[in-house]
Amino acid sequence: MLKKIDDCRWEVPMTGGMKVPGIIYTSERLLKDMGGDESQKQVANVAHLPGIVKYSLAMPDVHWGYGFPIGGVAAFDMETGIISPGGVGYDINCGCRLMTTRLAYDEIRGNIKELVAALFQNIPSGVGSKGDLKLSVKEEKKVLEEGAGWAVRQGFGRPEDLETTEDGGRMAGADPEKVSDRALERGREQLGTLGSGNHFLEIEVVEEIFDPIAAVAFGLELNQVVVMIHSGSRGLGYQVCDDYLARMVKHSGELGFSLPDRQLACAFLKDRRGQDYYAAMAAAANYAWANRQMLMHWTRETFEKTLRKSPRDVGMKLLYDVCHNIAKIETFPVEGKEMQLCVHRKGATRALPPGHAALPPAYLKIGQPVLIPGNMGTGSYVLVGTEKAYTDTFGSACHGAGRVMSRTQAMKASKGRSIHREMADLGVTVMASGRGTLSEEIPAAYKNLDEVVAVVHRAGLARKVARLRAVGCIKG
């Protein structure tokens, strides 16, 4: 039974073997959307894990996932805590990248269909999609070590792109030797591809500004054209998760404690298995950053060629790249003192406050850009991180709207409908490679984005800066 703390937080009280309480950030309205969803139980299950600190958290986009709920955040003590592939997710470093331009919407209003078609042609998308780039094993391992920096050095972008990418587009501690041959094989031809499902590339327009000072710092203004990319580590990341889950399930009897759910298979952070997973996960995260860097480069080229404008006139610049689905070693206050923790964010993003050492110089005074996309009919929000997130949620906020329908349910709900036409009626030009993708991704399959963001804003985890309206979208 949930216990209401305030208008934005509900407590999952400690019962049984829970070591800490759970806290779900939500509203009365969003709580109803959860219905028979198992995510509340999953929040409680995570609270059973050794070394968990303060509480097991869920963001307002929370929904059922593998082991940990999607939208779940949990931090573990480095001495006694664990690391769990289920707390990171299959799509390691699935994340969002937002680019600003010098273009006003009126300048390209008549070119949206042409732009969407060109982007669809130039950016490989869909299940198992392959790019034009063919990597040797040696070169692929360089990608896993160097991340987005590898892509820039190969001519896919500019050095300044790295300045506003989380961690500079490279996670320390990556070891390609901890990645299986099967994972390497799956990733070899997928670098520079969008993928399928909820991955997208979206042309958006700045529709509303809530915080003019932060908007100026981020380079946002009304009616400006921006582009959002949502993609991850593709088959390589999926395989890394699968490999280590199998390994950890096999050895779960050696942990010395029982798991409330075998999907929470884990290893202690101090043990070799935990360290091996961390090194492989970091390698997959670097692959994802290189992937989004390449997608951004081809998006720049497509805009310039299609609109017949110079790079200066298009002016496509990276506002920020944030990762979801990651576990990171970070320092946060616990009982009045700073403590090094392994923070799992699954379907959650960092929301760091002004002055934090991990921020790029451009945002040191204002705070971290927080990117929250919605469904393909709504667009996205840009927020800015706060001190309250730093103290209350291990510097975390939500990563999207969150599903309320499974893909199967969405397919049934959309049967016999023309989703392309429905999107066009909403003012969004959409192209997708998979026949079922649009049906699985109908707007009704997701929670109300405005309500989700309102909870984050009211709770003080991140402050609203701007709302972006979708006008064109490609999906896998």
Distance CA 228, CA 95 (A): 10
Burial class (CB in 10 A: 0-12, 13-18, 19+), 106: exposed
Cα–Cα distance for residue pair 70/404, rounded to 1 Å: 12
Give yes or no: 399 in active site: yes
CA dihedral (163, 169, 175, 180) in degrees, to 10, reads -170
Strands 462-475 and 380-385: antiparallel
Q: Which of 230, 324, 399, 457 is catalytic?
A: 399
CA angle 96, 308, 108 (to 5 degrees): 60
- Of 319, 314, 320, 318, give the one whose Cα is nearest residue 101: 314
**158, two tokens:** 């500019």
127's CB contacts (< 8 A; 6+ apart) are 195, 196, 434, 476
Task: Output the CA torsion 355→358→362→364 (10° steps).
Answer: 0
Name the amino acid, one letter, at 13. Answer: P
| Catalytically annotated residues | 399
